[in-house]
Chain A
Amino acid sequence: MKILGIETSCDETAAAVVEDSRILSDVIASQIDIHAKYGGVVPELASREHLKKLNLITEECLANAGLGFRDIDGIAVTSNPGLEGSLLVGLTAARTLSYILKVPLAEVDHLESHLFASAFTGIGKPPGLGLVVSGGHTRLVHIREWGRYEVLGDTRDDAAGECFDKVASVLGLPYPGGPSVEKAALSGSRGAYRFPVSDLGGSYDFSYSGLKTAVLYKIKYDLQGKLDGKTVCDIAAAFQEAALKPLVDNTLRAASECGAGWIFVCGGVAASGRLRELFGERAGKNVFFPDKRLCTDNAAMVAACGEFYLQRR
């Protein structure tokens, strides 16, 4: 089945065509430039951007695959969670196309779609373990089989990616925070500062609020707001270690306790080179990541998730 996937849940307008877990075309109109100005996602601005871009993106996506609308066998679209106005743009387009083309529609969950980015990695069959870690989510999921999940852990306060964004803004580093902190950290010393690594006992949950506050406090009071280039890099390096460690610790502990055959790490933070390194050091080839381009929101993962549900019907 050739599935057209549509994603507008947050800051990306994206369309993709997937067939048998192969990407025929994948177009993302990154809105990073618009949002960089505002230091984050601006919802109605985003929804207006989605509206402006979605038709163009969809047409370009089909043209890239050498396909027309009539070649599409099914539609998949992100229905939740996300910004209401933004979701509505994608949903309306998808429902309209499904109606006009008389093809089935799958309205899929955004977090489940992230897990389906694994369809392009040659990962084995479940049971496995999924870690979705992004600006809005930090969730550890036991994938018993596709479509059957158990949430093992979630953030108790802030998402990991949000913590990177907020710490970056205090360090004067650009949005998005993950890549800019990682870049600064390369010139810093991880041991220069000691920040608290969240430890929630036997739970698989995460917490990033305390780490955020500790970094802010360090800068505002201990350093009296004086940040030179070296200090920024050192704080970035020490913070990054403290932020990534619980992700690796909880995931590996859960993997061994549930006997998961593999681990799949996805979402924007999964693009982190340092996170990949840490997982690689400790879990080797049992850990899978999407291509960096498929870590952040994209429509290929939406189409893959939709393909699974439409084929099961």
Chain B
Amino acid sequence: MLKTVNSIDETMAVGKELAGLLRREKLNIFLTGGLGAGKTTLIKGIGEGLGIKDRVQSPSFQLVRKYGAPGPGSLTHIDLYRLKDAREILELGWWDLLEEEGVTAVEWADRAREILPDGAVFLSIRMLSETSREIEYEKK
């Protein structure tokens, strides 16, 4: 499924809508797209859709940030930007993080290509112009 968005607000809305469809089920979401594509923005929308009150900030530096009370409806936000290969990602506690209840959303998921489990939502964002993005949604 493809969707074109033309602003940050529209990117947020896609995330929010997606979270609305989840109905508190356990889900892993893997995001790809270059720097500035809007991966964090999309996850901010997911957070909003889950009813997370805290502000979702980029986890590039901390690598992992958790939001909401542990359990269904919580958000585990991971950023693999600084990690280079599967070995480093595994050492982050990768499988445990993917087992967290609620949504686990992973930015730069392409860095974990060999260790991405199925049964997840794959979102890839492509920059069309400074403000427009094409978001591809795939469940596999």
- A: residues with CB less than 8 A from B are 10, 38-45, 81-85, 135-136, 154-159, 161-162, 165-166, 170, 209-210, 212-214, 216-217, 220-221
Cβ-defined contact, A159 with B91, below 8 A: no
Closest to A135 in B: B61
Residues from chain B with Cβ under 8 Å of A135 in the complex: 61
A162 and B55 in contact, given A44-B92, A170-B35, A209-B41 (Cβ under 8 angstroms): no
Among B33-58, those with CB < 8 Å from A are 34-36, 40-41, 44, 55, 57-58
Interfacial chain B residues near A217, Cβ < 8 Å: 36, 127, 130
Shortest B77–chain A CB gap in Å is 12
CB pair A82–B62 under 8 Å, yes or no, is yes
Closest to B44 in A: A157
B23 to chain A: which residues have CB within 8 Å?
none
Whether A158 contacts B36 by the Cβ 8 Å rule is no
Cβ contacts A to B, 11 pairs, < 8 Å: A40-B60, A44-B92, A83-B62, A84-B64, A154-B55, A154-B57, A157-B44, A165-B60, A170-B35, A210-B8, A216-B35
Which of B40, B93, B130 has the most chain A CB atoms inside 10 A of its CB? B130
B67 in the interface (beta carbon within 8 A): no
Cβ 8 A contact of B81, one of A40, A85, A157: A40
Contact across chains for A41 and B58 when beta carbons are under 8 A apart: no
Q: Is the beta-carbon distance between B40 and A157 smaller than 8 angstroms?
A: yes
* Chain A residues, CB < 8 A from B61: 10, 40-41, 135-136, 159, 161-162
A162 with B60: CB separation less than 8 A: yes
Query: Can you name the residue of chain A whose Cβ is closest to the Cβ of B63?
Result: A43
When distances are taken between beta carbons in the complex, the residues of chain A under 8 Å from B130 are: 213-214, 217, 221
Interface residues of B (CB under 8 A from A): 8, 34-36, 40-41, 44, 55, 57-58, 60-64, 81-84, 88, 91-93, 127, 129-130
A159 to B59, CA, bound (A): 9
Measured CA separation A39–B36 after assembly (Å): 17
Q: Is the CB of A156 within 8 A of B35?
A: no
Write out the residue numbers on chain B whose beta carbons fall within 8 Å of the beta carbon of A38. 82-84
- Known: A135-B61, A157-B58; 18 extra A-B contacts, CB below 8 A, are A41-B61, A42-B83, A44-B91, A45-B91, A81-B62, A136-B62, A155-B58, A157-B41, A157-B57, A158-B57, A159-B61, A161-B61, A162-B58, A166-B35, A170-B35, A212-B36, A213-B130, A217-B130
Residue in A43, A82, A159 with the greatest tally of chain B CB atoms within 10 Å: A43
Most chain B CB inside 10 Å of its own CB: which residue of A41, A44, A84, A158: A44
Question: CA of A265 to CA of B13 in the docked complex: distance in angstroms?
Answer: 36
- Roughly how many angstroms separate A57 CA and B49 CA in the complex, as a whole number? 46
Contact of B57 among A45, A155, A216 (CB under 8 A): A155
Contact A158-B82, Cβ < 8 Å, known A44-B92, A166-B35, A217-B36: no
Q: Which residue of A lies closest to B62 (CB)?
A: A136
Question: Which chain A positions have C-beta within 8 A of B62?
Answer: 81-83, 136
Q: How far is the CA of A299 from the CA of B46 in the complex (A)?
A: 37
**8 A-B pairs closest in CB distance:** A40-B82, A44-B91, A213-B36, A136-B61, A158-B58, A216-B36, A135-B61, A217-B130
Q: How far is the CA of A140 from the CA of B36 in the complex (A)?
A: 25
A157 proximity list for chain B (CB < 8 A): 40-41, 44, 57-58
